[in-house]
Amino acid sequence: MADLDDLLEKTSRTFALTIPLLPEPTRREVTVSYLLFRIADTFEDSASWPRATRIAALDDFAELLVEPRPEQTRRLAAEWNAAMPIDHEGYQELLVETPAVIEAYFDLAPAARERIRHHTTRTARGMAGFVARTDDDGHLQLRDLDDLRAYCYVVAGIVGELCTDLVLLDRPALAPVAGGLRRRAARFGEALQLVNILKDSAFDATEGRSYLPPDLDRATVMALAREDLGIASEYVALLERAGAERGVIAFNALPVLLAYATLDTVEEQGPGAKISRPQVFAIVAGLQQALDQGRPAIDRP
Is residue 208 within 8 Å of 139, Cβ to Cβ?
yes
Q: Which domains does the chain have, with CATH numbers?
A: 1-135 (1.10.600.10), 139-301 (1.10.600.10)
Q: Spell out the residues 6+ positions from residue 59 whose beta carbon is closer than 8 angstroms to its own.
A: 124, 125, 128
**Taken in order 177, 180, 183, 185, is the CA torsion positive or negative?**
negative
3-state secondary structure of 196: helix
User: pLDDT tens digits, the chain, 301 residues: what are they?
Assistant: 579 999 999 999 889 999 999 999 999 999 999 999 999 999 998 888 999 999 999 999 999 999 999 999 999 999 998 887 777 889 999 999 999 999 999 999 999 999 999 999 999 999 999 999 999 888 888 999 999 999 999 999 999 999 999 999 999 999 999 999 999 999 999 999 999 999 988 777 777 677 899 889 999 999 999 999 999 999 999 999 999 999 999 999 999 999 999 999 999 998 888 999 999 999 999 999 999 999 999 987 6
CA distance 64 to 50: 21
pLDDT attached to residue 139:
85
Q: How far apart are the first and last CA of the chain?
A: 46
DSSP state of 171: -
**Taken in order 253, 228, 296, 185, is the CA torsion positive or negative?**
negative
pLDDT attached to residue 88:
84
CA distance 133 to 139: 9
pLDDT attached to residue 206:
73
DSSP state of 212: S
User: pTM here?
Assistant: 0.94
Is residue 112 within 8 Å of 169, Cβ to Cβ?
yes
Is residue 145 within 8 Å of 216, Cβ to Cβ?
yes
**Taken in order 216, 218, 220, 225, is the CA torsion positive or negative?**
positive
**How buried is residue 277: exposed, middle or buried, by Cβ count under 10 Å (0-12/13-18/19+)?**
exposed
pLDDT attached to residue 300:
79
pLDDT attached to residue 301:
66
